[in-house]
Structure 1
Amino acid sequence: MTEKDFSLRLAKLREEKGVSARDMSLSMGQNPGYINNIESGKSMPSLSGIFYICEYLGITPKDFFDIDAASPSKANELYSIAKGLSNEQLDNLIALAKGLRK
């Protein structure tokens, strides 16, 4: 993932969460322009900053860097729900998901 990809991914996931860059920065205890600077490519977060960003977004770093996952927080929510389903219910859910993919 390039720095530009990182910036775009952060912006997409932040917007999906429905929060402004300023509000996210302040909620993370950073200066108001912290997230905006990352999204605009002016700076990059430290490794600990990446962990804080992921924690704020409610996803894992793996989810963040998995660009094939369009909405990792929703995928995680679905997975949490699926863990409590019976085998028959899981088969139905899989069939539904396959049908939606077409």
Structure 2
Amino acid sequence: MDEQFIRNRLTKLRQQKQVSERKMSLDLGHSTSYIRSITSGRALPSMSEFLYICEYLGTTPMEFFNEEHETSLIEQEAIGYIHTMSEQDIRAMIEFIKQLKNAEK
């Protein structure tokens, strides 16, 4: 994994969120060119800024760097709901998903 991966991943997640580099920069409290400086390779964010960027994009650092499976925005939304559920409700949901998958066969 290299700096190019970080730039490309940031661009892809930002585009999925349908927000411009300028707007994202301002929303994060920076100058209008902050995100552009990262995606162009002129700069890299600090660790704390990277965590803010992940939060802004609705992803975790683990999901950001997961090259094998990119978690879509809809999957991220579902995961967010799962984090608020009881273990019993999560188990019931898993059983429901299994039933849906079996019905597809």
Per-residue displacement from partner, 1:12-65 (whole Å, max 9, x unpaired)? Answer: 000000100110000000111111111111211111110110111122111111
Equivalent residue for 1:54?
A: 54
Q: TM-score, normalization: structure 2?
A: 0.76
Runs of 4+ in 1 over 4 A off after TM superposition: 81-89, 95-100
5+ long unaligned stretches in structure 1: none
Partner of residue 27, structure 1: 27
Residues 94 and 76 from structure 1, CA distance in 2 versus in 1: closer, same or farther, beyond 3 angstroms?
farther
Q: Which residue of 2 aligns with 1:91?
A: 95
The residue aligned with 2:6 is 6
State the number of aligned residues: 100
Unaligned runs of 5+ residues in structure 2 are none
Q: Which has the higher contact order (CA 8 A, sep 6+)?
A: 1
Q: Report the TM-score, using the length of structure 1 for normalisation.
A: 0.78
